[in-house]
Chains A and B, each alone.
Chain A
Amino acid sequence: MATESVKYVAPETDTKTSSKVFPRPGQNTTGIVNWLTTIDHKKIGLMYGLASLSFLLIGGLEALLIRTQLWSHNMEVLSNRQYNQMFTMHGTTMVFLVIMPMSAAFFNYLMPLQIGARDVAFPRMNTLSLWCFIAGGIILNLSWFFTGGAPAIGWFGYAPLTDNRFAEVLMDMGPDFWIFSLQVLGIASLLASFNFITTIINMRAPGMTMMRMPLFTWMTLFVSFLLILALPAIAIALAELMFDRSYGTNFFDFLEGGKPHLWQHLFWIFGHPEVYILILPAMGIVSEIIPVFSRKPLFGYGLIVFSGAIIGFMGFAVWSHHMFTTGMGIVATSAFSILTMLIAIPTGVKIFNWIGTMWGGRIRFDPPMLFALGFITMFMIGGFTGIMHSSVPIDAQHQDTYFVVAHFHYVLIGGALFGLFAGFYFWLPKITGKMMNKSLGKFVFTLMFIGFNLTFFPMHYLGMIGQPRRTHTYNLGHGFETWNQIATIGSFILGIGVFIGFLQFVHSFCSKKLKPAGKNPWDARTLEWTLSSPVKEHNFARTPIIKARDQAWENNYGPPENHSEKVPLDDHGVHMPDRSWTPLLSGIGLLTMVLGLLFHLSLDQSGEVVRDYTVAIVGGVIFILGVILWAVEGGGGYHLFPKEEDE
């Protein structure tokens, strides 16, 4: 931060009085307090990214344990219950604590830069979203240490697996931890999504019309809408499940008149849009990278935008293809089968657009481009097997076999994770200001690509010959051993690749030897590349006036009338919001409340259930106190006066 060009001016309005109610860290706060109280979208994005990468290592470790158990027939590395816990935690971690927050990290860091905004619309709410995510991650992983250990119900938590009476352990708390962590993570996603929607709709720089927005920003918008409309279904389902488990309601209790089938519907009404929530950010990233490394504008920008919209819209109409074998009847299965086939069309449109972008371009095979190409090819294989599953008879054959495991890992690793890694290799120079070693990046890609295919391609075959998923071992004589061993070897290669990638990312933050990136190392096209690397705290010294779609590219190569201009300087400076303790306080309150609810039940000597809500009430009071202080302290803020070119 160029502090010499910055002078501190207190706000001259009424906010001065209200901000005295609660001491707020000032402009020059450093160290841990700076990170705990920050409301800067870039720092929040960094923390999201680091936390999700750490969870990636935890989830990956769980995956490696699963693969070790399946190395050969009748292995005893994990007991059957431990195996169930492992795949439950692996799935839940990878979906809710890795891919979603990693996408949120990119949304947070890049979206305001791409639309020329100072920050998101509600910076403190953004911080609360981060702390809710951290709290959710803590709650889920705490489950290992309490009665019953981690949940053993699958990431889908189908009834009646979650029913108390069928638990293997008395007073099994695993599912409760799972329920509450998903609720808290849901709050995190909702808060972030409301924020992103408001920001994209309302805080675009002058001239940044909707159809000039970068593709990644479009995908942020679609994903945010998907989240706010899909999460309520699972939030209510989880609340009903919580009432079932703790207060004896009968929503999913088939012995008392409830319908376990309803859980499946509610889960997948959320769960299928969730699939697009996981993949659309990666599609946005790839849509940014391919034009840059092909040195051509994106082919069919409008088509890609509207395909994204159609995917998002239709994503709400295909959920029951996860339930073809539950006996919904011919009409329902046919309808969902047709819609599932139809949703392949907009996805295919996008793939043809990316190919069209590369066609005739001068392609550079740098790590971001390699991962992007890996995304397209691997996602296509996952997509093809997906279309296979839209056919009901084939789906009935594949249900609960390793073929399905192969399918969704091709979509979620080959698709989402490769896309996100492409994003890391592409944007980390912007974030750290330093270039990463390209050869090492290519090596990481090679390891991940080979390891990934070795692990998951054989699973297509294993599924076809009948190896069931979610089963902790298999007997000799089915012909499963060879391909399982190849898959296990592959998974370790993939794990090593991901770990080296992780080290390279962390190293690029700490190292002082890497060569500086400059403003635009890739000769990229969108607005964030007009800023210095790393981006200054205030983002833009003067708000840009946008004249064209690929503004950074037009500024360098376009005709003069397409060059962006700057909003004239005034004596107002850049208004920066104050740092704040209240989001952290509210987050701690929420965590305390949830832990209180988790542990409120106990048995006394006579075996009677005793309820004690003290801790939950204390947590709730802290949360409400946080919110009240938040409201009372007001926006606050100070003004920066950066030099014209200091951005």
Chain B
Amino acid sequence: MSDAATHALDHHEPPTSTGIPNKKVLMWAFLGSDCMFFGTLISTHLIYRKISATVNGTPLDIRNIFDIELTSFSTFILLASSLFMALAVSAIHKGNLTGTRWMLFGTVVFGTIFLACQVYEFTHFVYLEGHELTLSTYQGEAHVFGSTFYVLTGTHGTHVAIGVFWLIGWLLYSFTGRMTTADAIDIECCGLYWHFVDIVWIIIFPVVYLMEYAF
């Protein structure tokens, strides 16, 4: 870290008891809490997955409406965005503003592609002939799968969207000319959040999608 950055940190944030910046402790505490949010949602989905797996006496085969190729693609895109995020954090620590800007841009683009895939997926599930999976029904019959599916993946999508807006904020800030290595801790917190959201998807993808093909 450059001298300027050390000085700025010394001035604004007195040394902490653990040596870890306050913002980072806050972020880890938040992520711990967020684990419980997603834990509750994933548990709800797993509990209902088999209990309500019949429509009108016939077992529901959700595989008919899943487009596993598309979801695999968007999973890959989201994981790749984590690489950009890590490179952005590395670049800001080295004081490489141009690199930070490009890597943030890459993360935003890949996050947006993931969100676009999710919007496409939701739209098709709801409206395409023969799918008609809504929040409360499947092909016109009362059902719980739609409830847990949309609320779980929707909450994850909301997290991604918040992350994208947060990154866009930093991207815009990088053009004001005020961005220094003193902001590295903020970018790093942003990165922690982004990686966490990715990790949650690594759990959701097998639990919600792949498991339907296995059990």
Residues of A with Cβ closer than 8 Å to B?
A: 13-15, 121-122, 190, 193-195, 197-198, 201-204, 208, 228-233, 235-237, 239-240, 243, 247-251, 255-259, 262, 266, 269, 575, 631, 635
Task: Contact check, A198 vs B22: say whether CB atoms are below 8 A apart.
Answer: yes
B214, CB-defined interface residue at 8 Å: no
Q: Which residues of A contact B135 (CB under 8 A)?
A: 243, 247-249
Supposing A232-B40, A240-B44, A250-B147 touch, asked if A257 and B142 sit within 8 A by C-beta, the answer is: yes
Q: Which residues of A contact B26 (CB under 8 A)?
A: 121-122, 194-195, 197-198
Q: What 8 A-B pairs have minimum CB-CB distances, sorted nearest first?
A: A232-B36, A249-B147, A256-B142, A202-B16, A236-B40, A228-B33, A232-B37, A257-B52
Complex Cα distance, B14 from A635, in Å, reads: 13
A-B contacts, 22 listed (Cβ < 8 Å):
A13-B8, A13-B11, A15-B12, A121-B25, A122-B22, A193-B29, A198-B22, A201-B25, A202-B16, A203-B17, A228-B32, A232-B33, A232-B34, A233-B36, A237-B40, A240-B44, A249-B144, A249-B151, A250-B144, A258-B52, A258-B144, A259-B51
Q: Which residues of B contact A229 (CB under 8 A)?
A: 32-33, 36
Write the B133-158 contact mask toward A (1 if CB under 8 angstroms, else 0). 00110000011101110010000000
Task: Contact check, B17 vs A251: say whether CB atoms are below 8 A apart.
Answer: no
Please provide the chain B residues from 33 to 86 with a CB less than 8 Å away from any CB of chain A in the complex. 33-34, 36-37, 39-41, 44, 47-48, 51-52
Task: Contact check, A251 vs B41: say whether CB atoms are below 8 A apart.
Answer: no
Complex Cα distance, B33 from A197, in Å, reads: 12
Supposing A13-B11, A194-B30, A229-B36 touch, asked if A202 and B18 sit within 8 A by C-beta, the answer is: yes
Q: Which residues of B contact A239 (CB under 8 A)?
A: 151
B211, CB-defined interface residue at 8 Å: no
Task: Contact check, A262 vs B151: say whether CB atoms are below 8 A apart.
Answer: no
Q: Which residues of B contact A14 (CB under 8 A)?
A: 178
Q: Which residues of A contact B148 (CB under 8 A)?
A: 251
Task: Contact check, B17 vs A201: say whether CB atoms are below 8 A apart.
Answer: yes
Please pick, from B20, B36, B44, B169, the residue contacting A631 in the complex, using a CB distance under 8 A: B169
Complex Cα distance, B25 from A201, in Å, reads: 8
Q: Which residues of A contact B11 (CB under 8 A)?
A: 13
Most chain B Cβ neighbours within 10 Å, of A193, A203, A208: A203
Which residue of chain A has the shortest Cβ distance to B166 in the bound complex?
A: A631
Q: Which residues of B contact A121 (CB under 8 A)?
A: 22, 25-26
Task: Contact check, A243 vs B143: say whether CB atoms are below 8 A apart.
Answer: no
Q: Which residues of B contact A262 (CB under 8 A)?
A: 44, 47
Most chain B Cβ neighbours within 10 Å, of A203, A243, A257: A257
Which residue of chain A has the shortest Cβ distance to B136 in the bound complex?
A: A248
Rounded to whole Å, the gap between the CB of B82 and the closest CB of chain A is: 23
Number of interface residues of B (CB under 8 A): 37
Task: Contact check, A194 vs B36: say whether CB atoms are below 8 A apart.
Answer: no
Please provide the chain B residues from 104 to 141 with a CB less than 8 Å away from any CB of chain A in the complex. 135-136
Please pick, from B12, B29, B33, the residue contacting A198 in the complex, using a CB distance under 8 A: B29
Task: Contact check, B151 vs A250: say whether CB atoms are below 8 A apart.
Answer: no
Most chain B Cβ neighbours within 10 Å, of A13, A229, A235, A249: A249
Rounded to whole Å, the gap between the CB of A53 and the closest CB of chain B is: 29
Please pick, from A15, A208, A228, the residue contacting B29 in the complex, using a CB distance under 8 A: A228
Rounded to whole Å, the gap between the CB of B21 and the closest CB of chain A is: 8
**Across the A-B interface, how many residue pairs have beta carbons closer than 8 Å?**
116
Please pick, from A13, A202, A251, the residue contacting B25 in the complex, using a CB distance under 8 A: A202
Task: Contact check, B29 vs A194: say whether CB atoms are below 8 A apart.
Answer: yes
Supposing A197-B25, A204-B17, A239-B151 touch, asked if A256 and B136 sit within 8 A by C-beta, the answer is: yes
Complex Cα distance, B40 from A198, in Å, reads: 25
Task: Contact check, B29 vs A243: say whether CB atoms are below 8 A apart.
Answer: no
Task: Contact check, A256 vs B17: say whether CB atoms are below 8 A apart.
Answer: no
Task: Contact check, A235 vs B37: say whether CB atoms are below 8 A apart.
Answer: yes
Supposing A228-B32, A256-B143 touch, asked if A202 and B17 sit within 8 A by C-beta, the answer is: yes
Most chain B Cβ neighbours within 10 Å, of A231, A233, A255, A258: A258
Complex Cα distance, B108 from A310, in Å, reads: 43
Q: Which residues of A contact B29 (CB under 8 A)?
A: 193-194, 197-198, 228
Complex Cα distance, B8 from A469, in Å, reads: 61
Rounded to whole Å, the gap between the CB of A27 and the closest CB of chain B is: 18
Please pick, from A202, A232, A236, A250, the residue contacting B136 in the complex, using a CB distance under 8 A: A250
Q: Which residues of B contact A194 (CB under 8 A)?
A: 26, 29-30, 33
Rounded to whole Å, the gap between the CB of A41 and the closest CB of chain B is: 15
Complex Cα distance, B47 from A266, in Å, reads: 12
Task: Contact check, A236 vs B32: say whether CB atoms are below 8 A apart.
Answer: no
Most chain A Cβ neighbours within 10 Å, of B135, B146, B147: B147
Please pick, from A233, A240, A259, the residue contacting B151 in the complex, using a CB distance under 8 A: A240
Task: Contact check, A202 vs B33: say whether CB atoms are below 8 A apart.
Answer: no
Q: Which residues of B contact A631 (CB under 8 A)?
A: 169
Task: Contact check, B22 vs A202: say whether CB atoms are below 8 A apart.
Answer: yes
Q: Which residues of B contact A232 (CB under 8 A)?
A: 33-34, 36-37, 39-40
Q: Which residues of B contact A230 (CB under 8 A)?
A: 36
Task: Contact check, A250 vs B40: say whether CB atoms are below 8 A apart.
Answer: no
Rounded to whole Å, the gap between the CB of B196 and the closest CB of chain A is: 14
Supposing A235-B37, A236-B41, A236-B44 touch, asked if A202 and B20 sit within 8 A by C-beta, the answer is: yes
Given contacts A251-B151, A258-B144, 9 further A-B contacts (CB under 8 A): A201-B25, A229-B33, A232-B39, A236-B44, A247-B136, A250-B143, A250-B144, A256-B136, A257-B52
Task: Contact check, B44 vs A251: say whether CB atoms are below 8 A apart.
Answer: yes
Complex Cα distance, B12 from A537, in Å, reads: 19
Most chain A Cβ neighbours within 10 Å, of B41, B144, B178: B144
Which residue of chain A has the shortest Cβ distance to B152 in the bound complex?
A: A236
Complex Cα distance, B28 from A121, in Å, reads: 14
Task: Contact check, B136 vs A259: say whether CB atoms are below 8 A apart.
Answer: no
Complex Cα distance, B44 from A259, in Å, reads: 10
Complex Cα distance, B45 from A259, in Å, reads: 12
Rounded to whole Å, the gap between the CB of B170 and the closest CB of chain A is: 10
Which residue of chain B has the shortest Cβ distance to A634 in the bound complex?
A: B12
Complex Cα distance, B49 from A333, in Å, reads: 24
Rounded to whole Å, the gap between the CB of B6 and the closest CB of chain A is: 14
Q: Which residues of A contact B178 (CB under 8 A)?
A: 14
Which residue of chain B has the shortest Cβ distance to A266 in the bound complex?
A: B40
Q: Which residues of B contact A236 (CB under 8 A)?
A: 37, 40-41, 44
Q: Which residues of A contact B44 (CB under 8 A)?
A: 236, 240, 251, 262, 266
Task: Contact check, A635 vs B12: say whether CB atoms are below 8 A apart.
Answer: yes
Task: Contact check, A231 vs B47: say whether CB atoms are below 8 A apart.
Answer: no
Task: Contact check, A250 vs B17: say whether CB atoms are below 8 A apart.
Answer: no
Complex Cα distance, B179 from A156, in Å, reads: 49
Q: Which residues of A contact B136 (CB under 8 A)?
A: 247-250, 256
Q: Which residues of B contact A251 (CB under 8 A)?
A: 44, 144, 147-148, 151
Q: Which residues of A contact B146 (CB under 8 A)?
A: 249
Q: Which residues of B contact A575 (CB under 8 A)?
A: 14
Task: Contact check, B144 vs A256: say whether CB atoms are below 8 A apart.
Answer: yes
Please pick, from B8, B16, B147, the residue contacting A243 in the complex, using a CB distance under 8 A: B147
